Amino acid sequence: MICNLCYKCNDPNIGHALNRNDSYVKCYMGDTGLLVSHAFSENEITKEQLYKQIMDGKLALNQGMLYENAVAQIITASGRKLYFYTRYSEQKHRNDIEIDFIISNESKTKFKISPIEVKSSKNYTTSSLFAFREIFKNRIERQIIVHPKNYSNENGIISLPICYF
């Protein structure tokens, strides 16, 4: 229970575990505070100074890593397994769709999924969510972006700050 494993779901549909690809795994720390302490353990900064500098925005770090880890921790704490989706484009020679997390509504009769994108910046694009919606529109219940801005619900996308997630 030190880390939370997030598996690639090849076909986000009923039974994510049936479409789980064990060759593609993301690993998140089970405790985001522990992740921060571990990531900066080689520095001479005391833990109190470290957290204060992070909160004051005075320490350069990958905030996306912290946001994504916190969301993974929240999803796991709710009793759900972690799954993500990505699609490789042969034409572009790179992944053209990357969805951080996929959760289901856990309904037995009206099964739907919700893709979740995690953004640490106030400026971001939603091209992966739109492309994902084009492919899987009949399976989607809602689309969610977790970000540092205020709550909004526009174009079928619910955007909310991490504290509301």
User: Hey, where are the domains in the chain?
Assistant: 3-164
Q: What phi, psi does 16 have (nearest 5°)?
A: -55, -40
pTM: 0.85
Q: E strand or H helix at 8, and its extent?
A: strand 3-9
- Model confidence over 144-156: pLDDT tens digits? 999 988 999 988 8
Instruction: Give the pair of three-digit tokens for residue 142.
Output: 């809602």
Whether residue 91 is predicted with pLDDT greater than 90 in this model: the reply is no
Token pair recorded at residue 150? 């205020």
